[in-house]
């Protein structure tokens, strides 16, 4: 069975600094997708970035980038130039599509606080 | 396009009662998934509906049930509420086919006393 582990329950970073959130997963599948979701204190979960496992190139979205290490089953999120609005809960998620349906598994989240 | 909406946003119920939560997906999305979010447990998958059929189910007791209507709106029902059912219930919609990113609603905060 697939599992997703986020080993950092809480983190803090100074405004304008860089922070990396870690995520590891366990799967025997070869083709899958990985996501980072952000849940600000207002609770609406939004997609930050996604990575297809078959792509070797790390995904990047503005200040957000990932370090995807498929062999190590690691999928970390790097936030550059941290802003106060980045304060949120961040969830790593694994998704596998199969037989006309799909399965999402989420980690337990990392609470990030950006300090002024 | 309007986002995913969930009603009600807050709910307080007594142990033993039942509750129905509603979710309206993004227009054109045919898949609706439900999650239970509690501190320390993250998001636990409840079930997923696609075109009015339950396609996927998590490991929750039969007290948790759902359905989807022809307009893709979905409802989730919890019967015989227990204190441990207190949680944030999130609904997510997606196209449901291929690489289908999920878009989440704001959630319904259920408190069972």
Mean pLDDT, range A25-37, rounded to an integer: 92
Tokens of B81: 């509420």
Q: Which of A39-53, A60-74, B64-78 has the lowest mean pLDDT?
A: A39-53
Q: Is B66 in contact with B34 (CB distance < 8 Å)? A: yes
**pLDDT band with cut points at 50, 70 and 90 for residue B1:** low
Using a CB-CB cut-off of 8 Å, the residues of chain B touching A43 are 88, 106-107
Pairing outcome for strands A110-115 and B10-13: unpaired
Would the pLDDT of A99 be above 80?
no
Mean pLDDT, range A83-103, rounded to an integer: 87
Predicted confidence (pLDDT) per residue in A51-75, tens digit: 999 888 999 999 999 999 999 999 9
Mean pLDDT, range A75-91, rounded to an integer: 97
Using a CB-CB cut-off of 8 Å, the residues of chain A touching B3 are 44
Q: Mutate which of B10, B37, B40, B87 to test chain A, going by most A C-beta atoms within 10 A? A: B37
Highest mean pLDDT among A38-52, B73-87, B98-112: B73-87
Greatest Cα-to-Cα distance within chain B, rounded to the nearest angstrom: 41
Predicted confidence (pLDDT) per residue in B80-90, tens digit: 999 999 999 99
Q: Is B47 on the interface with A (CB under 8 A)?
A: no
**What percent of chain A lies above the pLDDT cut of 90?**
77
**Structure-token match 């209507």, residue found:** B69
Query: B106, A44: Cβ pair inside 8 Å?
Result: yes
Mean pLDDT, range B20-35, rounded to an integer: 95
């Amino acid at each position: 069975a697939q599992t997703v582990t986020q080993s950092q329950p809480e983190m803090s970073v100074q405004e304008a600094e860089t922070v990396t959130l870690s995520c590891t997963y366990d799967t025997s599948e070869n083709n899958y997708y990985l996501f980072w979701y952000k849940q600000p204190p207002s609770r609406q979960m939004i997609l930050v970035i996604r990575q297809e496992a078959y792509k070797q190139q790390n995904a990047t979205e503005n200040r957000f980038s990932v370090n995807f290490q498929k062999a190590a089953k690691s999928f970390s999120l790097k936030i550059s130039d941290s802003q106060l609005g980045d304060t949120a809960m961040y969830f790593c998620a694994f998704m596998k599509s199969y037989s006309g349906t799909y399965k999402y598994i989420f980690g337990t989240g990392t609470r990030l606080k950006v300090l002024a | 396009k309007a986002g995913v909406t969930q009603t009600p946003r807050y709910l307080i119920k007594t142990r033993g009662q039942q509750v129905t939560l509603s979710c309206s997906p993004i227009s054109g999305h045919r898949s609706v998934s439900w999650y239970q979010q509690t501190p320390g447990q993250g998001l636990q998958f409840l079930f997923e509906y696609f075109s009015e059929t339950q396609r996927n189910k998590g490991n929750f007791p039969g007290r948790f049930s759902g359905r989807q209507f022809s307009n893709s709106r979905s409802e989730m029902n919890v019967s015989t509420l227990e204190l441990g059912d207190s949680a944030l219930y999130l609904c997510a919609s997606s196209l449901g086919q291929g690489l289908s990113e999920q878009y989440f609603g704001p959630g319904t905060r259920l408190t069972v006393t």
